[in-house]
Structure 1
């Protein structure tokens, strides 16, 4: 065979490759800008809160104790029930106290009779003195006898009142309204004045207190920010109570007071919140958490959490689209979380465009095309090649 056909094929292939190379696109064309989503920051007024741990305690607590000694004749309440102020709880055998009361009443009747006789005698002697039928000395003696009889009557009435008070103590009543607990004595038990154990305990649970603890360092920081004008007082806002399972309690609380001293063992101080508790859902001793207002910041800057990165050393940074449309890295300082955003202390200012989406495809100094978060994706610009393809 002749080698001419093979030579012709090779020449044709070389010519085709050369023509393709001359008509191709240049390899050093600039890549299109990256597509990112940004959140434009703005100053806004936000209320700052602090979640604090605490425990509930009864609004009022009264220990029921005997004020006279004797045998318990009857228990007049149901354990665990709700009692009202003045409701009878125990009846102590009162026969001896009733007898003392009756004796004191009889002494009062005797003293009244003596005083009445002395009063009539003094009146008659006074009339006889006017006609000089009796001496002045007799008149003075009659007046003195009347005053002594009236004093004896007053003493007898005081003794009767004391006897009736002691007699009334035989029926033990509830000093406050609330829920009563377990009884420590039963019918037939001997109780005495000054005994160590109470008969029962009554606790008022509506409203109820929530005792919270807060670090003293947080209090100092709060006062510094208020003194510097960065925060406004917000302590009068309602307090939200969070139950142990994380759900919010139906009723808001109000801050009653904060302790004036710091616990030296824990470095914290106490706050007390009063909460309405009509259904007695909160019981004394329950662990709860409370969202307490710590102030209002009028020029707060909030940045979405997804736009802030934290390195291994704890430093936080954010990527921002600069005025030239290129990516910049900003070191930022954040203090607390408010929902899905961080509260910015420094590093960012109103108007900054923080990149929140597309962070994996960009680098510092890279030009990007930004679209605002929630405003839809910006349309990609049409390239000359796409325009030619459409034609």
Structure 2
């Protein structure tokens, strides 16, 4: 009896095992992807990457150089007479006009000197009137020999001396008036005035030319640029000794990387090299209506110093700089496989690098989609599409690829639904 029961139990276990194996096999066959182009597990299309097609063109070789801002006009307001400052007549940091009164120095001593000079002039003029009358009175008397010729000569000399005294007195009056006017300190130019360097009650001196304030015109500013002479020669050598004239635009870049909207212009390039630093000085001028640039400020400028007859422009994001093999780009070949290529960078041109060697015309250079290749083995084919810069209208998507992906997605969605049914 026990033997028959044991046999029945073993038979049931074997049957359950066979059922379980059959169910696992059925599940495995359902999960296995079906063959065919529309199956959910079909091979994924190659990743799309943005590319540009290279072309030769005449480009300007730009450089980015350090520069210091300098006011286009600067005037130091200094004392021209001695005295005590009575008033400050301007607001520090404000705009002032040429001829505007800035300081009032005590005018009393100069008013007294002017009055004394005017009195001396009056005395000299009275003396001239007297001597002139004497000469007129002596003229007929000399002819009648009532007065000696010596007396007449002395009278004429006295008249001329009186005329000289009048002229000297007039000059003294003029000097006294100038000094009196200098007691009121005026703005020599229009511009923005800084802080007052003297206060009310301070004693200023004409002999020491005490500086009282500083006025600077900053609606236009100079940019004093320095550049290595060796770098300048290299640029011109790369361009085949074809330089650019002085009338070239200059782009100003602030410390935080902001590019100013106003473009400047190069005024001149020095013809000598500083023997102590080996640098050449250049000067540019740029409009500064909002006073974004302050005198003494450090900025960087971009300017073209030579022209390359035949160069290729490549977006900066397409170039890997400073690698073990130098500067490199990824070139998509005819087989749609990206391959690294070493290139030679000439200079910067806006948001592009100027490639002077390493590329041919008509080649496709990758600009976007690098992150898609990180998880793929080298040599994986890609689907190149024309790269669209940021802010430009996007290129329309390819309908064939989109339709295939949509169909594949629909079939993939239908698969689980059919399984569930």
Place the TM-score, normalised by the shorter chain, in its bin: 0.7 to 0.9
Question: Judging changes above 3 Å, is the alpha-carbon distance between structure 1 residues 235 and 293 closer, same or farther for their aligned structure 2 residues?
Answer: farther
Q: Report the 3-state secondary structure (helix = DSSP H, G, I; strand = E; otherwise coil) of the residue aligned with 1:123.
A: helix
Does residue 182 (structure 1) correspond to residue 195 (structure 2)? The answer is yes
Deviations 1:68-94, CA, capped at 9 Å, x for gaps: 222222221222221122222111222
**Whole-Å Cα distance in 1 between the matches of residues 206 and 353 of structure 2?**
62
Question: Judging changes above 3 Å, is the alpha-carbon distance between structure 1 residues 92 and 305 closer, same or farther for their aligned structure 2 residues?
Answer: closer
Q: Greater CA deviation, 165-174 or 355-364?
A: 355-364
Please give the residue correspondences for 1:138-153 in structure 2 after superposition, counting only pairs within 5 Å. Answer: 138-153=151-166
Contact 1:235–1:292 (Cα < 8 Å) also in 2? no
Q: Give the match for residue 113 of structure 2.
A: 100
Deviations 1:26-74, CA, capped at 9 Å, x for gaps: xxxxxxxx99987543321223322222232222222222222222222
- Using the TM superposition, give the Cα deviation of residue 216 of structure 1 relative to its aligned residue in structure 2, in angstroms: 2.1
Q: Give the match for residue 353 of structure 1.
A: 363
Q: Give the match for residue 314 of structure 1.
A: 326
Question: Judging changes above 3 Å, is the alpha-carbon distance between structure 1 residues 225 and 119 closer, same or farther for their aligned structure 2 residues?
Answer: farther
Q: Give the match for residue 175 of structure 2.
A: 162
Does residue 206 (structure 1) correspond to residue 209 (structure 2)? The answer is no
Contact 2:80–2:209 (Cα < 8 Å) also in 1? no
Contact 2:84–2:202 (Cα < 8 Å) also in 1? yes
Contact 1:371–1:378 (Cα < 8 Å) also in 2? no
- Using the TM superposition, give the Cα deviation of residue 314 of structure 1 relative to its aligned residue in structure 2, in angstroms: 1.8
Q: Report the 3-state secondary structure (helix = DSSP H, G, I; strand = E; otherwise coil) of the residue aligned with 1:336.
A: strand
Contact 2:79–2:209 (Cα < 8 Å) also in 1? no
Please give the residue correspondences for 1:220-369 in structure 2 after superposition, counting only pairs within 5 Å. Answer: 220-225=233-238, 228-229=240-241, 231-263=242-274, 266-303=277-314, 312-314=324-326, 316=328, 319=331, 321=333, 332-339=343-350, 341-350=352-361, 352-354=362-364, 356=366
Q: Report the 3-state secondary structure (helix = DSSP H, G, I; strand = E; otherwise coil) of the residue aligned with 1:239.
A: strand
Deviations 1:340-382, CA, capped at 9 Å, x for gaps: 64423234344x4345389969989x9x9997846987999xx
Q: Give the match for residue 62 of structure 2.
A: 49
Please give the residue correspondences for 1:117-156 in structure 2 after superposition, counting only pairs within 5 Å. Answer: 117-156=130-169
**Whole-Å Cα distance in 2 between the matches of residues 71 and 138 of structure 1?**
53
Q: Greater CA deviation, 72-81 or 239-248?
A: 239-248
Q: Greater CA deviation, 210-219 or 324-333?
A: 324-333
**Whole-Å Cα distance in 1 between the matches of residues 57 and 399 of structure 2?**
27
Q: Report the 3-state secondary structure (helix = DSSP H, G, I; strand = E; otherwise coil) of the residue aligned with 1:80.
A: coil
- Using the TM superposition, give the Cα deviation of residue 150 of structure 1 relative to its aligned residue in structure 2, in angstroms: 0.8
- Using the TM superposition, give the Cα deviation of residue 237 of structure 1 relative to its aligned residue in structure 2, in angstroms: 2.1
Instruction: Give the length in aligned residue pairs.
Output: 342
**Whole-Å Cα distance in 2 between the matches of residues 234 and 102 of structure 1?**
61
- Using the TM superposition, give the Cα deviation of residue 158 of structure 1 relative to its aligned residue in structure 2, in angstroms: 1.5
- Using the TM superposition, give the Cα deviation of residue 289 of structure 1 relative to its aligned residue in structure 2, in angstroms: 1.9
**Whole-Å Cα distance in 1 between the matches of residues 338 and 97 of structure 2?**
71
**Whole-Å Cα distance in 2 between the matches of residues 54 and 346 of structure 1?**
30
Deviations 1:151-194, CA, capped at 9 Å, x for gaps: 11111111222222222221122222222222233222222234
Contact 2:246–2:267 (Cα < 8 Å) also in 1? no
Q: Give the match for residue 85 of structure 1.
A: 98
Question: Judging changes above 3 Å, is the alpha-carbon distance between structure 1 residues 277 and 343 closer, same or farther for their aligned structure 2 residues?
Answer: closer
TM-score by structure 1 length?
0.73
